[in-house]
Structure 1
């Protein structure tokens, strides 16, 4: 069973990408650089290959975390983190990821390969990068296994969900004056650089003392002291609130212009807080206990499974947008998470021991099984969607080729005049 019904395949040929970028940094600094950088790529390189190259750099960063900081994935979380020079490689790789993620669309237009597959491929890679960067940035901020890291995961995924929800209802991808793909990534790059210079413990420095605001009695008495990393999380919360408001205003104006319901789209946000509540419920028992998943080596695999389930859900939202299908309210991976969350909380719910996660060893097996199921589920989604789109449109995924009316593969860039 595929993800694109036969009756909506025709909508793939009607799809046209629409984007609005209000970022000053992007418009006046990064975009001129991107316009130059894309010219260095040969026209025989497919845009999706560029996108995949960018994701591979992030995967490399994650691999270095596992290799140089095994304590983060074992019981020895208090062990020294990765060597400080590793953070510089994270900064360089993330900046290159942003660059490659920004020029893949330009390469698509250069080669005549722009279309719905590129939209799906690009956003799919972005969805995977979101969780990986949460894990890496939380390590660089010295947050470790904590509820702050959980909050960071929820907030970052929320921003991605908002953007996808907004595009589904408006037909346009909006990047505001401060957006995750531009300013957000640059901030994380800065975090990596600072951790590379001073070490991640620098983020434990008190915010008020660092900014010298503690010398002002009114502020010192009204604002509690918190670490720079905690202050950054609070700042992220305000950023999320701002994005919620701006995203809804864009949807409101779009629905008003089209004569559609202006408040009904808010219901389409409900799936996200429900899924977050399920994951938090799973993590919450036993609360504040060292035996819980939150404070164990299972925390990173848990976040990865959560991120893959999220990628599957937003992938279906993006697919619904490009094929003009109904909004996907339900995702099958919820069942797995609900089972895990209810089972872990059986002592709280009915006063009996968990049926599945009854011992630390069983919990370990179940979390890693959850990760494996999440990987397989998302991989199945990717393979089936790519297969359906490439077969129907007669295009290749990772090469610049198209089928002509006789079914003969030809270079995509030869079929139309390149306008760039």
Structure 2
């Protein structure tokens, strides 16, 4: 069984990307740069090749974290400080990722390959990048393995989910005056750059002291003098709140214009908090201690597994968007996460030790098994969807169509549209 039902395959030919970018930085600075950058790529290079090249930069960044800070995956937990110059490479790698992510669509239009496959591929890479950047950014901010990092991942995934949910209901990708793919990424590039000059301990500096506000009684009375890294987290929470309001406003407006119920889409937000609660329930299990996973070498594998489960979930959402299928309420990977969370909390639920995770060694085996299962599940999803789309449209994922092929594809799309209209 495939992910795209037979009746939904024809919708692939009808799909057309629509996007709105309100960012002034993007319009006046970055877009002229991207327009020039795409001309450096030969037209025989497929857009998805550019997208994957960008993700490779992020994977290299993540690999350098594990190489230069091996204790991040050990019980000591980041006791070895990576060399400061490594943060400059993280900044460069992320900037390259953003640039490649921005020009893959331009390359698609240059080569006549714009379509649903590129949309799926782009979102899949973005979903993987989101989790990896949270881990890297929190390391650069000296937050490391902590509940702050968990909160940061939840907030970052929430922003991504909101964007995908909004695109599903409005039919277009909306990037506001401050968006994750533009200003958010540049802010992280700035964090990496500052850390490269100052080291991670700089971010522990009390924020009010740093800005010279610790002597202002009116401010210190209501604002705690916490570290700069926690101030960054607070800023992220404000941005998330703003994006929630903006996303729903766009969905509300689109539904009213279409004479549809503007409140029903809110129900489609429920799957995300459910998944977050499952993961937090698992992380806060009373077995051994409430922060056992967070304070152990299992933290990074757990976060990566969570990110893969999320990527699978939003991947199915964007697939439903490009094929005009019903909203996917349930994700099969939830079952495994629920088993893990319930088992870890057996002491809290029924007063007995977990059946599976009853020892630190068993917890380690189970979480690494979770990571492996989620990785292969997401890889299988990506492979199957790519095969279904390429087989139906007669295209290749990493090969540019010849001009004749493009003409045939467009003629086939027109025939499908005519047939659809006749049926209607």
Distance in 1 (CA, whole Å) between partners of 2:407 and 2:215 is 63
Distance 1:112 1:78, change over 3 A: closer
Unaligned runs of 5+ in 2: 411-424
Deviation track 1:165-217 (CA, whole Å, cap 9, x = no partner) reads: 00000001000000000000000000000110000110000000001111211
Deviation track 1:80-106 (CA, whole Å, cap 9, x = no partner) reads: 321100000000000000000000000
Write the mapping of 1:269-418 to structure 2, written as runs, cut at 5 A. 269-286=269-286, 289=289, 292-401=292-401, 410=405, 412=406
Distance in 1 (CA, whole Å) between partners of 2:349 and 2:409 is 63
Distance in 2 (CA, whole Å) between partners of 1:399 and 1:96 is 22
Distance 1:321 1:415, change over 3 A: closer
Distance 1:340 1:264, change over 3 A: same
For 2:116, the equivalent position in structure 1 comes to 116
Count how many residue pairs are aligned between Structure 1 and Structure 2. 410
- The answer (yes or no) to whether the contact 2:283–2:290 under 8 Å persists in 1 is no
Deviation track 1:220-265 (CA, whole Å, cap 9, x = no partner) reads: 1221110000011011001100000000000000001000001111
Deviation at 1:289?
3.0
User: Cα RMSD between the aligned structures?
Assistant: 1.5
Distance in 1 (CA, whole Å) between partners of 2:382 and 2:407 is 25
SS of 1:155's equivalent in the other structure is helix
- The answer (yes or no) to whether the contact 1:396–1:402 under 8 Å persists in 2 is no
Deviation at 1:76?
1.5
Deviation at 1:156?
0.1
For 1:59, the equivalent position in structure 2 comes to 59
Write the mapping of 1:2-401 to structure 2, written as runs, cut at 5 A. 2-286=2-286, 289=289, 292-401=292-401
Deviation at 1:78?
4.7
Distance in 2 (CA, whole Å) between partners of 1:414 and 1:111 is 15
Deviation at 1:286?
2.4
SS of 1:294's equivalent in the other structure is coil
Deviation at 1:401?
2.2
Distance in 1 (CA, whole Å) between partners of 2:407 and 2:246 is 38
Distance in 2 (CA, whole Å) between partners of 1:34 and 1:292 is 45
For 1:407, the equivalent position in structure 2 comes to none
TM-score (norm 2): 0.95
TM-score (norm 1): 0.96
Distance 1:78 1:133, change over 3 A: closer
Deviation track 1:284-333 (CA, whole Å, cap 9, x = no partner) reads: 01289376111111000000000000000000000000000000000000
Distance in 1 (CA, whole Å) between partners of 2:89 and 2:174 is 30
- The answer (yes or no) to whether the contact 2:271–2:330 under 8 Å persists in 1 is yes
Deviation at 1:414?
11
SS of 2:20's equivalent in the other structure is strand
Distance 1:413 1:155, change over 3 A: farther
Deviation track 1:100-137 (CA, whole Å, cap 9, x = no partner) reads: 00000000000000000000000000000000000000
SS of 1:214's equivalent in the other structure is coil
- The answer (yes or no) to whether the contact 1:110–1:413 under 8 Å persists in 2 is no
Distance in 2 (CA, whole Å) between partners of 1:358 and 1:332 is 25
SS of 2:44's equivalent in the other structure is coil
